């Protein structure tokens, strides 16, 4: 079976080579999947896609015309897939629901600590022989209230780490986890009482812009906000207003709602035209990483392994629980 791997990077090739199966022939394409680039998958039986690849109705319809009947997502999220169209066309969709929740959870806490103790600023100061402590004052994580929105595998892993710091947890999820039963509260109470808020829910029509002007108004002055889930959970313009009026004291983003044309690429020799993103970079209390929270050796191994297993399951006609659309 020939598979077109879109948005392919060096580490994707290395990962899939570890699980090489003679029946799987990977064709690596650096371009992001969209209607224009889909033609590069001509002759392939399946497509392997990533978080910012376009799997909207027009792309899926053209895939069906080309005879492609399977998409293997090498990620957990599937907000970029029109599942209704896929089901109507008989295109099978599989994902990697749990590759390494600890990878994202640990990056989340690393962002909290970096913003709090201003490690990024201290690093640059010391390199300039500046050892003054002015402007580097942080706070104890112990005893602080952390609100976790979304308590799936990643949210749960984050909660476990923060418990070890001695934080008080407040959680919100439409499907509560028994391990965190005592910590659930309403979304309003979480906004009002949390010193730190961390987002770990999937992107859906219900969760889009869950952080907006109204929810920000409910939060404490100087709240820390962390998003390592999906960019469009946050209304970026509202968050910029929150930074300007100091409602938000710290902002950590590993994702951005318009990241598709920015992240995963080296743009150091180019001009970034996104004025909203450039405005975020002007704030000294904002820390942005380029969708790297998942990026550990263990996570990449799991992603390539499970994705390969999904492709083999499709080829053999025995799909498993990773399938999204029948």
Cα angle 119, 149, 213; round to 5: 85
Among 107, 183, 230, 257, the active-site one is 230
45 as an active site residue: the answer is: no
C-beta separation of 56 from 33 below 8 A: no
Catalytic residue among 74, 95, 200, 291: 291
Alpha helices in 140-210 (DSSP H): 153-164, 187-193
Contacts of 243 (CB under 8 A, 6+ apart): 251, 283, 285, 286
- Is 275 among the catalytic positions? no
Residue 279 bears catalytic tag: no
Task: Tell me the CA distances in angstroms from 317 to 103, 130, 311, one per residue in order.
Answer: 32, 63, 10
Report phi then psi at 144, rounded to 5.
-80, 155
Q: Which of 257, 259, 275, 309 is labelled catalytic?
A: 259
DSSP-derived letter for residue 275 is: H
Q: 88, 62 in Cβ contact below 8 A?
A: no
Element (H, E) at 171: strand 168-172
- Cα–Cα separations (whole angstroms), residue 61 to 53, 57, 90, 129, 315: 15, 6, 10, 59, 21
Work out whether strand 248-253 and strand 145-149 pair parallel, antiparallel, or are unpaired.
Answer: unpaired
Residue 49's DSSP bridge partners are 73
Write out the catalytic residue numbers. 230, 259, 291
């Amino acid at each position: 079976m020939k598979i077109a791997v879109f948005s392919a990077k060096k580490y994707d090739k290395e990962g899939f080579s570890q699980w090489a199966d003679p029946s799987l022939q990977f064709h690596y394409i650096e371009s992001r999947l969209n209607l224009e680039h889909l033609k590069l998958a001509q002759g392939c039986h399946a497509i392997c896609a990533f978080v910012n690849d376009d799997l909207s109705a027009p792309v899926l319809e053209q895939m069906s015309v080309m005879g492609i009947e399977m998409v293997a997502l090498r990620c957990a999220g599937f907000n970029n897939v029109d599942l209704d169209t896929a089901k109507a066309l008989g295109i099978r969709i599989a994902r990697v629901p749990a590759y390494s929740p600890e990878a994202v959870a640990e990056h989340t806490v690393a962002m909290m600590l970096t913003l709090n103790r201003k490690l990024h600023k201290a690093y640059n100061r010391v390199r300039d022989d500046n050892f003054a402590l002015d402007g580097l004052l942080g706070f104890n994580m112990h005893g602080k209230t952390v609100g976790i929105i979304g308590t799936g595998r990643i949210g749960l892993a984050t909660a476990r780490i923060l418990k070890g710091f001695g934080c008080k947890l407040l959680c919100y999820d439409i499907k509560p986890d028994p391990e965190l039963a005592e910590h659930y509260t309403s979304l309003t109470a979480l906004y009002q009482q949390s010193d730190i808020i961390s987002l770990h829910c999937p992107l859906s029509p219900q969760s889009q812009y869950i952080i907006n002007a109204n929810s920000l108004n409910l939060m404490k002055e100087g709240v820390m906000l962390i998003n390592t889930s999906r960019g469009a959970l946050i209304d970026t313009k509202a968050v910029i207003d929150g930074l300007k009026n100091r409602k938000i004291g710290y902002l950590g983003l590993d994702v951005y709602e318009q990241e598709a044309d920015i992240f995963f690429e080296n743009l150091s020799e180019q001009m970034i035209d996104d004025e909203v993103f450039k405005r975020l970079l002007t704030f000294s209390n904002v820390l942005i990483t380029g969708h790297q929270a998942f990026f550990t050796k263990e996570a990449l191994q799991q992603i390539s392994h499970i994705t390969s297993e999904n492709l083999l399951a499709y080829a053999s006609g025995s799909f498993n629980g990773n399938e999204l659309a029948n």
